Chains A and B, each alone.
Chain A
Amino acid sequence: MTLIDRLGADLPRAPVTVDLDDIQATVLRYRPEPYYGTHVMLQVQDAQAGRELLRRLTPHIDSAADWWQAGQSWISVAISYRGRTMELARRQYEEFPGIGVLVADDFGAQPGDLNPLGYKDSISQPAIDGTGIDRLPGQGSPIKPGEFILGCPGEAGVRLPMPTPDLLGRNGTYAAVRKYQSRVGTFNRFLRRHAHTLQERELLAAKLVGRWRSGAPLTLAPGQDDPELGADPRRNNDFTYAAYAVGRQVPLGSHMRRMNPRDTGLTILTDVNVHRIIRRSTTFGAPYDPDAVAAQDDDVPRGLYFICISAKAMATLEFLQQEWINNGNFMNLGEERDPNVGLQEDGDVHDPTGAREAPHPRDSDVQRAAWRRVFLPALTDGVTMARRRLSARTRP
Chain B
Amino acid sequence: MATETPTAIEPGAGPSVEDRISQLRELFADAPEVGKAALETVLQRLASDASAAPPPPVESAGRVGSRLGKVSELTIIVPFAPGGAARLRAFLRLFGGNLAGADAVGSVHDMRFVFLDDDTRMLFATAYDGDWDAYIDDFASRIPDFLDIIDSAWEGWPGIRSPQAKDYLAKYQITAEGWYVANDLTVAETRRLRHVGQAVDEFVDTIGS
Contact = CB atoms under 8 A, between A and B. Distances in A.
Interface in A311-333: 315, 318-319, 322-323, 327, 329-330, 332
B161 A269 contact: no
B130 A329 contact: yes
Contacts of A259: none
B162 A158 contact: yes
Interface stretch (B13-21, B25-33, B38-46, B103-111): B103-111
Counting contact residues on chain B (CB < 8 A from A), the size range is 20 to 34
A322 B135 contact: no
B141 A156 contact: yes
A155 B141 contact: yes
A156 B135 contact: no
Contacts of A273: 141
A334 B135 contact: no
A161 interface: yes
A111 interface: no
B188 interface: yes
Contacts of A269: 104-107, 135, 138-139, 142-143
Contact of A156 (B131, B144, B192): B144
A329 B137 contact: no
Most B-side CB within 10 Å, residue of A156, A273, A322, A327: A156
Contacts of B129: 268, 329
A15 interface: no
A157 interface: yes
B163 interface: yes
B140 A329 contact: no
B133 to A, nearest CB: 9
Contacts of A164: none
A272 to B, nearest CB: 9
B189 interface: yes
Nearest to B139: A269
A271 B189 CA distance: 21
B100 interface: no
A270 interface: yes
B134 interface: yes
B137 A271 contact: yes
Nearest to B70: A329
Interface string A164-177: 00000000000000
B134 A319 contact: yes
A330 to B, nearest CB: 8
B186 interface: yes
A258 to B, nearest CB: 15
Interface in B186-200: 186-189, 191-192
Given A161-B163, A329-B186, A268 B107 contact: yes
Interface string B54-96: 0000000000000000100000000000000000000000000
Contacts of A315: 137
B163 A160 contact: yes
B202 to A, nearest CB: 18
B141 A274 contact: yes
A318 B186 CA distance: 20
Given A156-B140, A161-B163, A270 B135 contact: yes
Contacts of B107: 267-269, 329
Interface of A: 155-158, 160-161, 266-271, 273-275, 315, 318-319, 322-323, 327, 329-330, 332, 334
Given A267-B187, A322-B131, 20 more contacts: A155-B137, A156-B137, A158-B161, A160-B163, A161-B163, A267-B186, A268-B106, A268-B135, A269-B104, A269-B106, A269-B107, A273-B141, A274-B138, A318-B134, A319-B137, A322-B134, A323-B130, A329-B70, A329-B107, A332-B188
